[in-house]
């Protein structure tokens, strides 16, 4: 691509989103770091600028469609285009099915599922409007395929992300816009660390290659590779970035 790309990363204040933001910037792309947490999001931007990259922070509440639409509009206002939309923002949805905190249940659905839908719609419309053959990458999870106790709402959202990615890819293909889901496994992020006292982390380590949690930087590498023109054949797919978690027993 001759023109410098613009990548919008939601959940860019920490974890996978921060590392994806750093990865794209290090490769020469301009990055819009989007998050609800302004201080931590600005910290990601400062890290990028310290390394000589170009980035801006935009506060977003992905549970609100108008906020996501404003994010995409702001990215185009700042940099003139949008080539990559990484719908990554997410929260954990803990709690056994019969003991659901319904406020947390709805919050999880609104952020993890609706937030991705809003991102697909807003970025897809803008890419079509601008005639950009971009790529929309959605953070799914092995928990979109595999069940585990105590994460009822989270499973629901990640399963939805997978099917939304497939459906959107089918409809956006005529415009040259790709849609891909990346499914991490046991990644060392604040969400996973929230389960450290339950014994769940030990179980996860036993199911991955090397016996250690995946680092966010490794997932970021996968997201970046999927975004490249050389990955043009990948759309409507779920790319596993799980170190074998979904395959190992």
Q: What is the pLDDT of residues 58-89, one digit of tens each?
A: 999 999 999 999 999 999 999 999 999 999 99
**Cα–chain-centroid distance for residue 44?**
16
- C-beta separation of 32 from 13 below 8 A: no
3-state SS assignment for residue 7: strand
Catalytic one of 79, 154, 195, 224: 154
3-state SS assignment for residue 64: coil
Reported as a pLDDT band with limits 50, 70 and 90, residue 102 is: very high
The dihedrals phi and psi of 90, each to the nearest 5 degrees, come to -165, 160
pTM listed for this prediction: 0.92
Break the chain into its structural domains and give their ranges. Answer: 6-241
Residue 174 gets which letter from DSSP? G
Reported as a pLDDT band with limits 50, 70 and 90, residue 193 is: low
3-state SS assignment for residue 167: helix
Tell me the β-bridge partners of 230. none
Reported as a pLDDT band with limits 50, 70 and 90, residue 31 is: very high
Higher pLDDT pick, 1 / 111: 111
Mean pLDDT computed over every residue of the chain = 90
Residue 1: predicted pLDDT: 42
Tell me the β-bridge partners of 159. none
Residue 190: predicted pLDDT: 63
Residue 192: predicted pLDDT: 60
Q: Confirm whether 154 is a catalytic residue.
A: yes
Q: Per-residue pLDDT averaged across 214-224, rounded?
A: 92
Q: Per-residue pLDDT averaged across 158-168, rounded?
A: 98
Q: What is the layout of strands, in order, in the sheet containing 30-35? A: 55-59, 30-35, 6-10, 84-87, 135-139, 178-184, 238-241
CATH class of residue range 6-241: alpha beta
């Amino acid at each position: 691509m001759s023109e410098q790309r613009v990548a919008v990363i939601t959940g860019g204040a920490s974890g996978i989103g921060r590392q994806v933001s750093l990865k794209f910037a290090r490769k020469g792309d301009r990055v819009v770091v989007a998050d609800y947490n302004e201080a931590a999001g600005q910290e990601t931007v400062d890290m990028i600028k310290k390394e000589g990259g170009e980035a801006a922070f935009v506060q977003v509440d992905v549970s609100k469609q108008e906020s996501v639409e404003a994010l995409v509009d702001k990215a185009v206002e700042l940099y003139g285009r949008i080539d990559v939309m990484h719908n990554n923002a997410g929260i954990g949805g803990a709690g056994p099915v019969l003991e659901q905190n319904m406020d947390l249940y709805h919050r999880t659905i609104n952020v993890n599922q609706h937030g991705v839908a809003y991102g697909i719609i807003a970025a897809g419309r803008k890419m079509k409007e601008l005639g950009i053959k971009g790529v929309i990458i959605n953070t799914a999870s092995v928990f979109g395929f595999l069940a585990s106790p105590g994460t009822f709402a989270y499973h629901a959202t990640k399963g939805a992300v997978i099917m939304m990615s497939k459906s959107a890819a089918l409809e956006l293909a005529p415009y040259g816009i790709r849609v891909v889901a990346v499914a991490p496994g046991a990644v060392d992020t604040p969400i996973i660390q929230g389960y450290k006292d339950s014994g769940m982390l030990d179980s996860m380590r036993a199911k991955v290659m090397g016996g250690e949690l995946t680092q966010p930087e490794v997932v970021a590498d996968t997201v970046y590779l999927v975004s490249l023109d050389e990955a043009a054949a990948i759309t409507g797919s779920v790319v596993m970035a799980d170190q074998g978690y979904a395959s190992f027993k």
